């Protein structure tokens, strides 16, 4: 009701600013949207590079705040300011428009997913060995958002093997089959693609949603799980050919729907774990017929008054609901996948036991920790977790045995990614937001001190480090249309090569990802 009143008020403001009656002088919001917004947010408002702009996907945004974002832009994102190009009446009309329902309710169910499925190569058409001479486990898959391409890079010679187009705005990071042969991509507009790194060709694709966040591949290589913002679903696909197997509506027990903010694989548990954006629940979805004891425990031992998580429901890919004391936006897992550490929307972090479903600790971290990009290592005999922060210039270091914050490393600004390698003594941390976005901190794992601050391309954003299989070299992305991969000797910290690329947002090493190498996100 409050949003509707705000939208109506903005429409009245638009008419008054235009100098006439509401019915006669209202700016043409549809035409304004097509001219200024459709390129990023989709002609049907169902999302593209930018998020979907239809009711049910706008979260806590109000029409009043929407008008302010249109006028002033949104700092730290690609949303520009239109205050110098549009009048107050036009801004108000646009802000009200995004809160109006589309002509047809956005739906994307099992039948629509099936109809979009395309098999692009049959098993007999794929080669029995790689068609290139590179080490297939030391390849990098480099996502170039600038022109929607992917480059496959030889991680020994640092030479491109191939470059191919993708669907627009890949999101959430590509994932690999357990043997490293196939890579799976998710685009913002819901397309899931499977690509063969041996044969250098697409195998299959399907549109699993309208606005998709990310995907996960089961540790046995049989299934792909896709988390959607729109519609509110978790979709299970066959990893072999991307055939849809099940669409799971994302709803809490009373029936309220939620966006799925992320889905992850928990290999020791034989399950997927999903983060929900709008309801205080976490989901675990087992995908093996005989779940391991670490999962069976809470299913058999659960009692209504025990305080533990509820048991799984019946049917294929059952959902185990774990109630939370608030919404958790992203997750980090301990190496054994017994605990989930999630960022709480009201601040700080929560530690949840996947075995019992109970909260075991709260971490008083100011700002917004970006736990999805956290890393861990053993320091002085104890495992620690380090996480960047999206709102302040600090990296928090957490003792994972005692669940206590033991250090705060000051940085030049808020950061997005942390990376390291088991063979590296350093953590690499970007300063993704703010005036020092061109800086890359190198931090000693033992002393927790910054030993050097690199500036690979002054004035341009440096981000997302990834290491070669052996940890000898570190690759840094320059997030710019005239960007590059900058390759450093990970021991001497000296630059050894620079490869021009079109806004390389991230690069992913096959070995590190498939072997859950310490220091890379999973």
* Beta-bridge mates of residue 264: 273
The whole-model pTM stands at: 0.84
Mean model confidence pLDDT for the chain: 88
* Dihedral sign (CA 291, 292, 294, 297): positive
State yes or no: pLDDT of 307 exceeds 70: no
Confidence at 320, pLDDT banded by 50, 70, 90: very high
**Residue 196: what pLDDT?**
98
**Residue 304: what pLDDT?**
30
State yes or no: pLDDT of 89 exceeds 70: yes
Is residue 489 reached through a cis peptide bond, with omega within 30 degrees of 0 on the bond before it? no
Q: What is the mean pLDDT of residues 416-438?
A: 96
Question: Which residues, at least 6 apart from 280, have a Cβ–Cβ distance to it below 8 Å?
Answer: 252, 323, 324, 325, 326, 327
Which range, 88-92, 139-143, 187-191, has the best average confidence (pLDDT)? Answer: 139-143
pLDDT > 90 fraction of the chain, expressed in percent and rounded: 73
Answer yes or no: are the C-beta atoms of 205 and 196 closer than 8 Å. no
Topology of domain 2-97 in CATH is: Cytochrome Bc1 Complex; Chain D, domain 2 (1.10.760)
State yes or no: pLDDT of 9 exceeds 90: no
**Residue 75: what pLDDT?**
67
Question: Which residues, at least 6 apart from 401, have a Cβ–Cβ distance to it below 8 Å?
Answer: 382, 383
Of 52-66, 143-157, 176-190, the one with minimum mean pLDDT is 52-66
State yes or no: pLDDT of 206 exceeds 50: yes
State yes or no: pLDDT of 306 exceeds 90: no
Q: Is 191 helix (H, G, I), strand (E, B) or coil?
A: strand
**Residue 303: what pLDDT?**
29
Q: What is the mean pLDDT of residues 491-520?
A: 95
**Residue 471: what pLDDT?**
97
Confidence at 291, pLDDT banded by 50, 70, 90: low
State yes or no: pLDDT of 310 exceeds 80: no
Q: What is the mean pLDDT of residues 331-345?
A: 93
320 by Cβ neighbours in 10 Å (0-12 / 13-18 / 19+) ranks as: buried
Q: What is the mean pLDDT of residues 397-419?
A: 97
* Dihedral sign (CA 453, 456, 459, 465): negative
Q: What is the mean pLDDT of residues 367-382?
A: 94
Q: In what order do the strands lie in the sheet with 375-379?
A: 375-379, 382-387, 394-399, 404-410
Spell 366-388 as b/e; 16+ CB within 10 A means b. Answer: ebbbbbbbbbbbebeeeebbbbb
Domain boundaries, the chain: 2-97, 108-137+162-279+281-323
**Residue 312: what pLDDT?**
53
* Beta-bridge mates of residue 211: 230
Q: What is the mean pLDDT of residues 103-114?
A: 87
Q: What is the mean pLDDT of residues 451-455?
A: 98
Greater confidence (488 vs 3) lies with 488
Q: What is the mean pLDDT of residues 86-101?
A: 90
State yes or no: pLDDT of 290 exceeds 70: no
Topology of domain 108-137+162-279+281-323 in CATH is: Methanol Dehydrogenase; Chain A (2.140.10)
**Residue 315: what pLDDT?**
59
**Residue 255: what pLDDT?**
77
Q: What is the mean pLDDT of residues 137-161?
A: 97
pLDDT tens per residue across span 480-498: 999 999 999 999 999 999 9
Distance CA 433, CA 292 (A): 42
Same fold, 2-97 and 108-137+162-279+281-323: no
């Amino acid at each position: 009701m409050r949003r509707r009143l705000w939208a109506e008020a903005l429409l009245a403001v638009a008419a008054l600013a235009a100098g006439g009656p509401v019915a006669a002088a209202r700016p043409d919001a549809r035409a304004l949207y097509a001219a200024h917004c459709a390129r990023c947010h989709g002609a049907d408002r169902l999302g593209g590079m930018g998020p979907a702009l239809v009711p049910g996907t706008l979260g806590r945004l109000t029409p009043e705040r929407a008008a302010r974002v249109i006028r002033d832009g949104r700092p730290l994102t690609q949303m520009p300011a239109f205050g110098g190009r549009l009048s107050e009446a036009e801004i108000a009309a646009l802000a009200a428009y995004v809160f109006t329902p589309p002509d047809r309710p956005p739906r994307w169910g099992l039948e629509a997913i099936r109809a979009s499925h395309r098999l692009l190569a049959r098993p007999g058409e794929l080669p029995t060995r790689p068609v290139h001479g590179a080490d297939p486990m030391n390849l990098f898959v480099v996502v170039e958002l600038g022109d929607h391409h992917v480059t496959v890079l030889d991680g020994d010679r640092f030479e491109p093997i191939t470059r191919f187009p993708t669907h627009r705005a890949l999101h959430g990071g590509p994932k690999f089959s357990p043997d490293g042969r196939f890579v799976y991509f998710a685009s913002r507009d819901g397309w899931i693609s499977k690509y063969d790194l041996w044969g250098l060709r697409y195998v299959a694709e399907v549109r699993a949603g309208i606005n998709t966040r990310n995907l996960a591949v089961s540790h046995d290589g049989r299934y792909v799980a896709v988390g959607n913002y729109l519609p509110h679903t978790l979709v299970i696909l066959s990893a072999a050919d991307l055939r849809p197997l099940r669409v799971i509506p994302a709803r809490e027990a009373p029936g309220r729907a939620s966006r799925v903010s992320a889905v992850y694989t928990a290999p020791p548990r034989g399950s997927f774990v999903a983060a929900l954006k709008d309801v205080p629940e976490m989901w675990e979805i087992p995908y093996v017929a005989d779940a391991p004891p670490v999962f069976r425990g809470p299913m058999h031992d659960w009692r209504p008054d025990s305080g533990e998580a509820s048991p799984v429901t019946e049917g294929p890919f059952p959902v185990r609901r774990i109630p939370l004391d608030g919404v958790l936006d992203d997750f980090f897992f301990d190496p054994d996948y017994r605990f989930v550490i999630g960022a709480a929307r009201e601040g700080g972090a929560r530690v949840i036991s996947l075995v019992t479903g109970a909260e075991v600790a709260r971490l008083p971290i100011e700002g917004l920790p970006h736990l999805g990009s956290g890393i861990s290592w053993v320091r002085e005999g104890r495992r620690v977790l380090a996480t960047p922060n999206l709102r302040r210039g600090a990296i928090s270091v957490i003792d994972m045995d005692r669940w206590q914050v033991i250090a705060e490393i000051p940085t030049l600004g808020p950061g997005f990614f942390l990376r390291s390698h088991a063979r590296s003594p350093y953590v690499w941390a970007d300063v993704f937001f703010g005036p020092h976005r061109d800086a890359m901190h190198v931090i000693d794992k033992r002393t927790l001190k910054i030993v050097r601050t690199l500036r690979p391309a002054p004035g341009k954003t440096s981000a997302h480090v990834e290491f070669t299989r052996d940890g000898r070299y570190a690759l840094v992305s320059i997030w710019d249309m005239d960007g590059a991969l900058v390759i450093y000797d990970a021991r001497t910290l000296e630059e050894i090569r620079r490869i021009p690329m079109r806004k390389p947002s991230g690069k992913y090493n096959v070995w590190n990802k498939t072997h859950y190498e310490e220091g890379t996100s999973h």
